[in-house]
Structure 1
Amino acid sequence: MLVSTVIRDRIAYVKMQNGKHFNCLSEDMCHELIKAIKDSYSQECVGIVIQAEVNRHVWSAGHDIRELPQDGSDPLAFNVPMEELLREVQDTPIPVIACVDGTVWGGACDLCLSCDMIVSSKDSTFAITPAKIGIPYNASGLLHFINQLGINKAREMFFLGTPIEAEDALNVGLINHVAENSEELEKLLEEHFLAPLRRNSILSVSAIKRQFRILSRASTVISAENFERINAYRQRVYGGDDYKEGINAFLEKRPPKYKGKATDLD
């Protein structure tokens, strides 16, 4: 089992417990998380907390690079397990809270942003790293970051791929609250988030969450022409040599040697 679930006082604590492999969001991990979230909702919990077994201060290393396709197919297609997980978190009709105590990388950063609220310890960091691997992120993911952080901070995180610290993440609205340490994090989670959540009307909260989801999508309609243009840009990336080089370099534990040019997209 890659995921454990404990329900206490109407809160489901869903924990990634594959610290040995830094809780990579493999297909199996994503499927287990989806099941845990669905089961928690079916058991009438009023909230879900996503936690992780931390190894070497890594909360989650994000997408499992070993599972990325190299046959010319889209690594972030609509039906890949990680994309299904993100939608499950966003669409689950009760609040989902990410409780982070460590570093968050790549797709795990998107997982956190898909949650309704994020609390973290002071020494946690967040990085979105597709450019380091040569992956063309998808439009839904980019819009997710833009809506949460604003376009300038989203550009910084995607273009550079460098981690931002918890205080910076707090200032730009990526996370809700920062605790001084692990012990204070647990206290903050319980007192500031879970206790009020248990007292409130879950019917009201659920209706409001559904409205947030609909309204957040209301401003993201794009023309068919622009949608096709986005797909053309992305296909040239994941169908090219830089994408394969990024994956192979990661697996071989060496710096990548990218040769692609921006004009290749013209």
Structure 2
Amino acid sequence: MNLVSAVIKERICYVEMQNADHFNCLSEEMCQELIESLQYGYDQECVGIVIKAQCKKGVWSAGHDIRELPQDGNDPLAYDVPMEKLIRKVQETPIPVIACVDGTVWGGACDLCLSCDMIVSSSIATFAITPAKIGIPYNASGIMHFINQLGLNKAREMFFLATPIEAGDALNVGLINRVAEPDQLESVLEEHFLNPLRRNSVLSISAIKRQFRILSRASSVIPSESFERINAYRTRVYKGADYQEGINAFLEKRAPVYKGKASDLDTTK
């Protein structure tokens, strides 16, 4: 069964996640189908792509499929894992990608939304980035993405606390572009985002999107030594006992009992 559908209507490609029974987890299969759908929308010369989801129990996407996280000492968020490939695909697709959110967004799905060029959400939507709940060391590119979008303090709040922020708060800090009542979400999406896209020059927009991508990276150049330190910190986490405990607790549907100490990250040990 396909996990994603892609339908083109009036030069817009509507990409919908359809695995609501598993809360649209970003499994390897889901990520691959989303990547293919994004490419399809671009190949068909659409002027924009909308990512939507069939929701169950109010969940738009539960984020990374915890059952697929490596438990053999490998980096769970390495450059070539499916979710990272999907995030780069969204960022690099030469036409605007819009997330239309009408439920709760968790973990890597929050990063997926931020990777989109714009986000339209219902007033009941919430957003949470949750690696600290599972014991996952998020990667540097993802953290920089949140810092660039939200600012340092709000990014810290979201990562350290791992608690959902409501749509109004998300709008105030620039995480999303517009909030609508649930029954008006589709009309707001069409009127305020898709109709203007259809009227504008896709060639101009594509060039501007590429510039945004280049210029946003230009302000975040980090010395190679700093990346080596980051990798050392992250490796100690995903090879440690807390990482395994986080996965086990999720699978066993219980609260995790973490025993790690901040001093465990001392790379001089």
Matched with 2:24 is 23
Scaled by the length of structure 2, what TM-score is found?
0.98
For 2:185, give the aligned amino acid: L
2: distance between equivalents of 1:146 and 1:227? 16
Moved over 2 A (4+): none
SS class of match (2:7): strand
Matched with 1:198 is 198
For 2:29, give the aligned amino acid: D
For 1:197, give the aligned amino acid: L
Deviation at 1:220, TM superposition (A): 1.5
Deviation at 1:163, TM superposition (A): 0.1
**CA-to-aligned-CA distance 1:108-138 (integer Å, 9 cap, x gap):** 0000000000000001000000000000000
1: distance between equivalents of 2:224 and 2:38? 33
Matched with 2:147 is 146
Percentage identity across aligned positions? Answer: 78
1: distance between equivalents of 2:150 and 2:65? 25
Aligned length: 265
Deviation at 1:176, TM superposition (A): 0.2
Matched with 2:264 is 264
Scaled by the length of structure 1, what TM-score is found?
0.99
Q: Which runs of 5+ in 2 are unaligned?
A: none
Q: Which runs of 5+ in 1 are unaligned?
A: none
CA RMSD between the two structures: 0.4
**CA-to-aligned-CA distance 1:56-96 (integer Å, 9 cap, x gap):** 00000000000000100000000000000000000000000
Deviation at 1:180, TM superposition (A): 1.4
Residue 33 (1) aligns with residue 15 (2): no
For 1:248, give the aligned amino acid: N
2: distance between equivalents of 1:6 and 1:225? 46
SS class of match (2:113): helix
Residue 70 (1) aligns with residue 64 (2): no
Matched with 1:185 is 185
2: distance between equivalents of 1:120 and 1:226? 36
Deviation at 1:174, TM superposition (A): 0.1
**What aligned pairs does 1:58-137 form with structure 2 within 5 A after superposition?**
58-137=59-138
Matched with 2:208 is 208
Deviation at 1:222, TM superposition (A): 1.0
1: distance between equivalents of 2:61 and 2:181? 20
Matched with 1:244 is 244
Deviation at 1:258, TM superposition (A): 0.2
SS class of match (2:264): helix
1: distance between equivalents of 2:237 and 2:165? 26
For 1:34, give the aligned amino acid: I
2: distance between equivalents of 1:51 and 1:109? 13
